[in-house]
Amino acid sequence: MMTRCFYDMEPVFSDFNRLRSELDRQFDIGLPLANIRSVPRGTFPPINVQEGKDGVSIQAYVPGVDPKKVGVTFEANALTIKGKRETECAAEKDSPAASCHRSERFTGAFSRIVSLPEGLDPEKIEAHCKDGVMKIIIAKMEEKKPKQISVKVE
């Protein structure tokens, strides 16, 4: 609330705010995180999970990873995403003529486990990958879906 008040006090703090946002951006390089309680910096891939009426939708941000080489398994309400990411920069490092100036992108093997709510149907899982974003949709079991009860008038 305090920061909000100061933030609105333009133009006194505008230069200060610009400096602050600039610093925030510098520290955000690599993996931008939603908040401080989120996963440690450098965790790959970052994952978003939403729960709707019909099921759960998961997005894993895996740019530059061949979707065929990503293993997605669902067991005991936990979804595991496993794979390996090979970046071209890491490959080029071995050649003597090339020099690496920046290496911020994740490289190597990764594995992440996400625990999901109960009552999901392991038979109804769909996974798509487009532009480096893997979307996984898991439907809820029929008996776990919210039921509409019709009231009879007597």
Partner 1 sequence: MAEQKGNKVTKAAESGVDSRLENSLVPPVDIFEDTDSVTLFADLPGVAKDNLELQIDKDTLQIYAQPAPAADPNATAHYTEFPEKDYYRAFTIGEEIDREKITASMTGGVLKLVLPKAEKVKPKKIDIAFS
List contacts with partner 1 (CB under 8 A): 8, 10-11, 14, 18, 21, 25, 28-34, 38-39, 43, 46-53, 56-57, 59, 61-66, 87-89, 92-93, 95, 97-106, 114, 117, 130-133, 135
Closest CB 117 distance from partner 1, rounded Å: 8
How far is the C-alpha of 79 from the C-alpha of 75, rounded, in Å? 7
Nearest to 58 by CA among 108, 116, 131: 116
Query: Could you tell me the maximum CA-CA distance found in the chain, to the nearest angstrom?
Result: 87
Closest CB 123 distance from partner 1, rounded Å: 20
Nearest to 122 by CA among 101, 138, 142, 145: 138
* Residues in a beta bridge with 61: 133
Q: 18: which 2 tokens?
A: 């610009």
62 or 125: CB nearest partner 1:
62
Closest CB 144 distance from partner 1, rounded Å: 15
15 or 75: CB nearest partner 1:
15
61 or 72: CB nearest partner 1:
61
